[in-house]
Homo-oligomer: A and B are copies of this chain.
Amino acid sequence: MTNRQVRLAARPTGLPDASTWEYVDAEIPSAGPGEFVVKVEYLSLDPAMRGWLNDVKSYVPPVKLGSVMRAHGVGRITESQHPDYQVGDIVAGSFGASEYGVSDGTDVTRVDESIAPLPTWLGALGFPGVTAYFGLLDVGKLKDGDTVVVSGAAGAVGSLVGQIAKLHGCKVIGIAGGPEKCAWLTEDLGFDVAIDYKNESVYKALKSNAPDGIDVYFDNVGGEILDAALSRLRLGARVVICGAIAGYNATEPQPGPAHYLSLLVNRATMAGFVVFDYLDRYAEAQEQIGKWIKSGELTAREHVVDGGIDAFGDSLNLLFAGANTGKLVLKVS
């Protein structure tokens, strides 16, 4: 029995490829005093992971060359020397891109399968859910009746942002790539409008569908879509900068949002945030989202790749190809 791991072999330029990762058979870790060992069942694949590969100062240190890739996962405890965790407990946490991880319980969440199956605890009941919840309500200062636009709308965070806005009586416009994703947004999730950026002008579609302008724009993509949204803000609008996946693999400097002066004209605010700042309120969001899932008011969808840990690199790149609908998760065991 071994513990297969994904290690960072080389920092990528542009899109990660086979040379980025090294797959290694390590020993299964054992738990020291106050620790437990988790057999990881699902790994979370997140756009933010791309940023962690760059050797730049950011909100978390870069992953070191040769070390196990940083990753959130959910799994079962197989050994414990921690007083609060027993063998068999299901937990979510940052155990690394590895078949087994060891933890002292820091920032670990207990998983309750009666609320939702394991992959959901990496999506709506995990960081993407908390990100959507606080990003929209707290950073975005959502008000009932707002016109809300979200990009990356069929992704892990975007799909929840739109649904939470609908639950607050807002008009919701999602921007996504391709007719299937757009149909999912409007037909299954109840978005009022879906804009297919691959097949129509986002600027024109925003103009016709939000003629009075945008109150909250929740941005996951950056680039031209951010700029189009900026040019259609309403007085007092709030722009939430959650991510910028359109530029994460760029090999040349990316242009900034040329229409940022719309912030001045419209007395608007553009604010960035990082979900880790909300760790102390994690349970609050999780509890509310759990209720919405149980009541059927909120749909949690995961795109599960059943590929085992060796599929880590290829699966991660599905994000940058826009191939996932809902939260992208890798089934490890």
Residues of chain A whose beta carbon lies under 8 Å from any beta carbon of chain B: 58-59, 222, 227, 241-244, 253-274, 277
A254 to B261, CA, bound (A): 11
> A268 with B267: in contact, given A222-B261, A255-B255, A261-B244 (CB under 8 Å)?
no
Residues of B within 8 A of A271 (CB): 263, 267-270
- Taken together, the copies of this chain in the complex come to 2
Q: Which residue of B lies closest to A260 (CB)?
A: B256
| 12 sample A-B contacts, Cβ–Cβ < 8 Å, listed by A number | A244-B261, A244-B264, A254-B258, A255-B255, A256-B257, A256-B259, A256-B260, A261-B272, A263-B272, A264-B273, A266-B272, A269-B272
Residues of B within 8 A of A59 (CB): 264-265
**Which of A222, A257, A269, A277 counts the most B-chain CB atoms under 10 A from its CB?**
A269
Q: Which residue of B lies closest to A58 (CB)?
A: B265
> A257 with B260: in contact, given A265-B272, A271-B268 (CB under 8 Å)?
yes
Residues of B within 8 A of A260 (CB): 241, 256-257, 260, 270
Q: How far is the CB of A188 from chain B (nearest CB, A)?
A: 29
A271 to B222, CA, bound (A): 18
- Verify B256–A264 contact, CB threshold 8 A: no
Q: A260-B260, A263-B270, A268-B272 are in contact. List 19 more A-B contacts (CB 8 A).
A: A59-B264, A59-B265, A222-B261, A241-B260, A241-B261, A244-B261, A254-B258, A255-B255, A255-B258, A256-B257, A256-B260, A265-B272, A265-B274, A266-B272, A267-B271, A267-B273, A269-B269, A269-B270, A270-B271
Residues of B within 8 A of A256 (CB): 227, 255-260
Q: Which residue of B lies closest to A230 (CB)?
A: B256
Q: Which residue of B lies closest to A259 (CB)?
A: B256
Q: Which residue of B lies closest to A56 (CB)?
A: B265
Q: Which of B241, B259, B264 contacts A264 (CB 8 A)?
A: B241
Q: How far is the CB of A210 from chain B (nearest CB, A)?
A: 15
- Verify A242–B264 contact, CB threshold 8 A: yes
Q: Which residue of B lies closest to A274 (CB)?
A: B267
Q: Which of B58, B253, B259, B277 contacts A258 (CB 8 A)?
A: B253
Residues of B within 8 A of A227 (CB): 256
Q: How far is the CB of A158 from chain B (nearest CB, A)?
A: 16
A266 to B241, CA, bound (A): 11
Q: Which residue of B lies closest to A263 (CB)?
A: B272
Q: How far is the CB of A240 from chain B (nearest CB, A)?
A: 10
Residues of B within 8 A of A222 (CB): 261
Q: How far is the CB of A123 from chain B (nearest CB, A)?
A: 21
A257 to B260, CA, bound (A): 8
Q: Which residue of B lies closest to A262 (CB)?
A: B272
A321 to B258, CA, bound (A): 23
Residues of B within 8 A of A259 (CB): 256
Q: Which of B244, B257, B265, B268 contacts A257 (CB 8 A)?
A: B257
**Which of A258, A263, A264 counts the most B-chain CB atoms under 10 A from its CB?**
A264
Q: Which residue of B lies closest to A256 (CB)?
A: B256
